[in-house]
Structure formats: C-alpha cells, structure tokens
Amino acid sequence: MTIDAVQSRIGPKDFSPDRSGQVMGRRWMVAAGHPLAAQAAARILEAGGNAVDAGVAAGMCLGVVHTDMVSFAGVAPIIVHLAKSRETHTVSGVGPWPKRASIEFFKTRCGGQIPFGVLRTVVPAAPDAWCTALARWGTLSFAEAAAPALECAAEGFPISVFSAALIRENAESYRRWPTSTALYLPGGRPRAAGERFVQPELARTIEIMIAAEQRAAGRGRAHGIRAARDAFYKGEIAEAICAYHRQEGGLLTREDLAEFGVEVAPPARATFRDLEVAACGFWCQGPALLQMLNLLEPYDLGALGHNSPRYLHLLTEAMKLAFADREAYYGDPNQVKVPADGLLSKAYAEARRRLIRDDRAWIDPAPGDPLGLAAVKNGFAPPALDTSYVAVVDREGNAFSATPSDASNDSPVVPGVGCVVSPRGSQSWLEPGHASAVASGKRPRLTPAPAMAFKDGRLFMPFGTPGGDVQQQAMLQVLLNIAVFGMLPQPAVEAPRVATRSFPDSFWPHKAFPGRMNLEARIPSAVADDLARLGHRIERYAEWDWRAGGVCGIVVGPDGALMAGADPRRGAHAIGW
C-alpha cells in the first residue's frame, strides 16, 4: 500500500475531534510524535494487529520519518501492558559502551572530552528492543511490522515543517561528515519542508532484515523475527557498522554487537493517591518521575490553583530534589549499586520533603541519603535534538509506551546502513565514581523514559515525551493536569509548562544552570514575578516552545472509552476509532 493510500484510508471516520480538539475513540487509539508514525500504527490496528504490533510499527517508522530526532539504530525503551494477564513489562532499549571504552581512553586520547562522532557510539539497542517486544507480545512478522517504515524509506515522504526547521538550524553539525551532508544537505542546502525524503540505504537495511526472516520462515514467527534481529547484530549490517568504525577510529566491534541483548524486567512503581505509575528502571531517568510524585503526594495541589505561583514553585522544588538524587545515584544497575528501594520509599520522600520551603527556592540542592533516610547527604559535590514518542491502546486493553531516540546531528550516518548508530554515549560522565561514568560494557543513564499509569488496578494512561531532561518534568505536569485538575488529555497536554535546569544536563558536557526556571510565555507575567521573588531565576520560553516537550498520552475511561492528547509543540498526532 502506498503512503497516499494509507493517508486516504485513515480519514475522517478515524480522526474524531470534538470542538475542543480532543481526539476520542471507542476501539483503539494511538498518539505519536509524527503523523506518519501514528498512521502506521493505525494501519496495523485496522488490520487486526494488537498494541505491540502497532507500537513497534510506529516506533520503527519514527526512525525513518523523524530521523532528526530518532535513529532506526538508536535507543528504544519500552513499556508493555497485557490486559488479559494484567502483567506489565519493560524492555531496556539502551545499549552499553563498547568493551574498549574507558574513562582513561577519553582522557588520554580525546583531551578529556566525549567528542562528536563515532567515539560516542554505544551498542544500538532499538532493533533488538523492537524485535524482542514483537516476538514476545505481538502477533505479526517483522516484515509486516516494518512495512510502513520500509515504504517511507524506499518511496520517500514529505519532510515536516518541524523536522526541516531542526535540520536547517543544525546544518553546520551535519556538515562535519560527508555521509550526513549527502543525506541531509543535498547540494549543500538543508532539505526543505515538504520535500520528498528518500533513504535508499536505510531501506536496504530493513530489506536485509526482512530477507533474513523470510529465509527462516519455516521455523515459526519467533524464529523469523530472531533471524531479522540477528541480520542486524551478526550479519552484513553489523559488518558495515564495524568496518566504518575501524576506518574512522571508533571503538565498536563485531563482538560488542553479537553479544548484546536487551533486558525484559518488571517496571519500577510508585503510588500517587489512587494511581499507580510504572516507569523503566534506574538505567534511565524514569524513576525520577516516581520520586517527584512521592514528594508531592501529601499536598493539596488543587487548592493551590493550576499554574499559580505557589503550585509552580512546589513542583519545581520537588523536581530539583528528584534530579539531585538522579545525579548522585542513577546508573546502570548491572554495574552500579543503586539504592532503589530507598529512593522510591515514602519514608525517604517524607525526609526530603522537609527541605521544600514556601518562601525560598533552592538554587542547587544536594542529593539525600536514601539508605539512612536523611534529607541531605553530607559532603557530596555533584561533580539538544533528542527524541520522539508513541503510545498505543488496542481493543483488548493492551498498551504500549515507547520513547525511541538518537538524534542525527552529533554522529555520522554510517555508509551502507543509512542512519546514525546510537551516539548515546553523550549521556555519560568522565568523572571516576559518578554513577553514570564511562566504563566497558556499561549503559549510559538514558533520558528517554516512557511511563504508564494505572487506576484501581486497571490501565489508566500510557504517556511520555521527548525533551531530554525536560521529559519527566513535562510528564509530571500533564499527569497532574489530568489526575488533580480534571482536564481532558488534549487540554492537559496543551496547558503551558515550566522546566527547571538547576542540575547538570544529561548531555555532554553536562552544563548546569543553578536556579534557572523556564516558563512558557503563556504563563502570566505576574506569576513569573512572584516566582522570581522566591529566588527562581526566570527565563522565558516562547508561547508554544518545542523545548518544553512533546507529550503524548492516551486516557482509558472506566467504561473503556479512549481519549488521546498529542502535543502541538512538536507536531504530534493522535488517531482513534
């Protein structure tokens, strides 16, 4: 089916906004960071696929149609909820540093920097994450799930206004590598909005995986998907990646790729009144959202007034405290002893909550001591283009929540593969003892972090966003808009937001802006003035600023009715039926 046919097939009967722009459905719903990815998922759902089939199809499609923000060979943390068994699983969609990586290497060979280019490459996790989710909980073949992505790569698609603007703004970054220049700046000029973007090398990568599945067809669906996955990590795609690394002085080897496998595990969880929220583990920043909710739970947030000075001050102080702990403790649990139970305990939240003052903003709060349940751990000194998102709920109540990522402007397109290979090493430190310091075989602490909320034991909302360090902040505000202030999901997503930058940024070189608080311009000046008097260092975003995140979510009503929110800040799109 052609792209035009997909667009005509998914028409007014599927897209059902009310007068407020709220998209609703009675059977299934998808919300994604790009309209074509949403349409890819809708196409799968209409054909009888489940939420995992549709979510995987949309996720892989994002790696084609949103390549400024998502790489087909990038990262892809996933949460899956199975309605029948009431089980919830996470997939660790981030790969480790190559075995040859070390702090010493970067200090002696790279001048103490994690440079742009192949040296920040970690093992790409997204292909394995998609294949693992599809094989375990989906119903389709890899070829069926990858069909929309392949179609868009091979036949091309019109570049969105948002993606074109970001490519234009980052043109000098793309010019660092001939392969990236050829793909994103043909003839030396950035690709324009509406221009048809064809990616033949990436299409060939997908075709190689499909062909491997077809050769294994007689062994069953799961074996076929595994063959497609192995074609990436053990076959000619792996050789193309590693040959380029050998040529360019990179660290990634065939052994690094062949030995990799994502982890499937239960989510981290926290309760907030009548909600239970699930997040991925401490290999990402997901648990920071849970810590924020623990800190805020006792307050009468509704009485403070939505986006009032007192409300925004309280949220910001809670976010700062959670991020201080993230900086001190979060890292790959396979190599770092993370005090997970302490960090997520209500007792620890109570101790930390005492640090929040009504009359003064923290500028640079220290982490606490989750083992001793102390508010402050004495003596501790804490040493960009980003992502997209997809949420799906199917007619059976299964849910999918994923935050695929890896921008294309800080590492080169790999020839013969057609995309950037995960430069997520940019989220590591070169400080010995840091929880997310570079180490052989260690995963960076990932910012992409999807979530899922449950109410009274049933699915309530899969949700997530791009935005780097803003992700958990934007997700918190949208969740509270719905759960505390009773907003429908689309108004909840569109409401103006704030963000704190009062901690080291997750991306190298980890700049910090103590006390900074960004407010979208739709928040009144009087509110900004009151916050400034409390000590917040106010900087204004635009009225609708893409840096404030691009939240998508699907709310499941007690009667099974579905409502979606899709953020206009980044051109997200929701479709329901």
What percentage of the chain reaches a pLDDT higher than 70? 95
Does position 7 have pLDDT exceeding 50, yes or no?
no
Q: What is the pLDDT of residue 386?
A: 75
Buried-state track 95-131, b at ≥16 Cβ within 10 A, e below 16: bbbbeebbbebbeeeeeeebbbbbbbbbbbbbbbbbb
- 1-7 long-range CB contacts below 8 Å, 24 or more apart? 1/43, 1/151, 2/151, 2/155, 3/36, 3/151, 3/152, 3/155, 3/157, 6/39, 6/40, 6/43, 6/148, 7/39
Tokens describing residue 192:
């324009």
Does position 464 have pLDDT exceeding 70, yes or no?
yes
Q: What is the pLDDT of residue 9?
A: 27
Q: Name the nearest CA neighbour of 517 among 526, 508, 507, 534.
A: 534
Q: What is the pLDDT of residue 15?
A: 32
Indicate whether 249 belongs to any domain. Answer: no
387 belongs to the catalytic site:
yes
Indicate whether 35 belongs to any domain. Answer: no
> HSE of 73 in the Cβ direction (CA atoms, 13 Å)?
32
User: How do residues 307-355 score in pLDDT, each as one tens digit?
Assistant: 999 999 999 999 999 999 999 999 999 999 999 999 999 999 999 999 9
pLDDT-derived band at 217 (thresholds 50, 70, 90) equals confident
Q: What is the pLDDT of residue 22?
A: 85
How would you classify residue 9: left for phi > 0, otherwise alpha for psi between -120 and 50, otherwise beta?
A: alpha
d(CA 120, CA 508): 10
Q: At 542, which CATH number?
A: 3.60.20.40
d(CA 328, CA 338): 10
Helix/strand number for the chain, H first, E second: 21, 19
Q: Note if the pTM is more than 0.85.
A: yes
Average pLDDT over residues 136-141: 98
User: How do residues 262-294 score in pLDDT, each as one tens digit?
Assistant: 999 999 999 999 999 999 999 999 999 999 999
Indicate whether 300 belongs to any domain. Answer: yes
What are the angstrom distances between the C-alpha of 200 and each of 135, 156, 178? 27, 9, 16
d(CA 265, CA 90): 5
Catalytic residue, candidates 179, 387, 465, 500: 387
d(CA 366, CA 199): 47
Contact partners, residue 439, CB within 8 Å, separation at least 6 = 97, 101, 102, 103, 335
Q: How many CB atoms lie within 10 A of CB 354?
A: 9
Crossing angle for the helix pair 142-155 and 35-46, to the nearest 10 degrees: 140
pLDDT-derived band at 497 (thresholds 50, 70, 90) equals very high
Does position 395 have pLDDT exceeding 70, yes or no?
yes
Q: What is the pLDDT of residue 369?
A: 83
> What does the mean pLDDT of the chain come to?
93
Range of the domain at 498: 279-385+449-576
What's the length of the chain? Answer: 577
pLDDT-derived band at 371 (thresholds 50, 70, 90) equals confident
Indicate whether 248 belongs to any domain. Answer: no
Indicate whether 377 belongs to any domain. Answer: yes
Does position 438 have pLDDT exceeding 60, yes or no?
yes
Indicate whether 309 belongs to any domain. Answer: yes
d(CA 122, CA 424): 6
User: How do residues 38-70 score in pLDDT, each as one tens digit?
Assistant: 999 999 999 999 999 999 999 999 999 999 999
Any alpha helices (H) in 254-389, and if so which ranges?
254-258, 286-296, 301-304, 309-329, 340-343, 346-353
Q: CA 428: distance to chain centroid? A: 17
Indicate whether 559 belongs to any domain. Answer: yes
Does position 180 have pLDDT exceeding 70, yes or no?
yes
Q: What is the pLDDT of residue 13?
A: 29
d(CA 328, CA 431): 12
Rg of the chain's alpha carbons, rounded to an integer?
22
Q: Per DSSP, what are the bridge partners of residue 517?
A: 500, 538
Q: Are 567 and 31 in contact (CB under 8 A)?
A: no
pLDDT-derived band at 368 (thresholds 50, 70, 90) equals confident
Alpha-carbon dihedral 428, 432, 434, 439, rounded to 10 degrees? 50
What are the angstrom distances between the C-alpha of 289 and each of 76, 315, 452, 550? 18, 11, 11, 16
When divided into structural domains, the chain yields a total of 1
pLDDT-derived band at 20 (thresholds 50, 70, 90) equals low
Tokens describing residue 342:
């302490």
d(CA 459, CA 275): 10
Q: What is the pLDDT of residue 382?
A: 38
Indicate whether 50 belongs to any domain. Answer: no
Contact partners, residue 218, CB within 8 Å, separation at least 6 = none
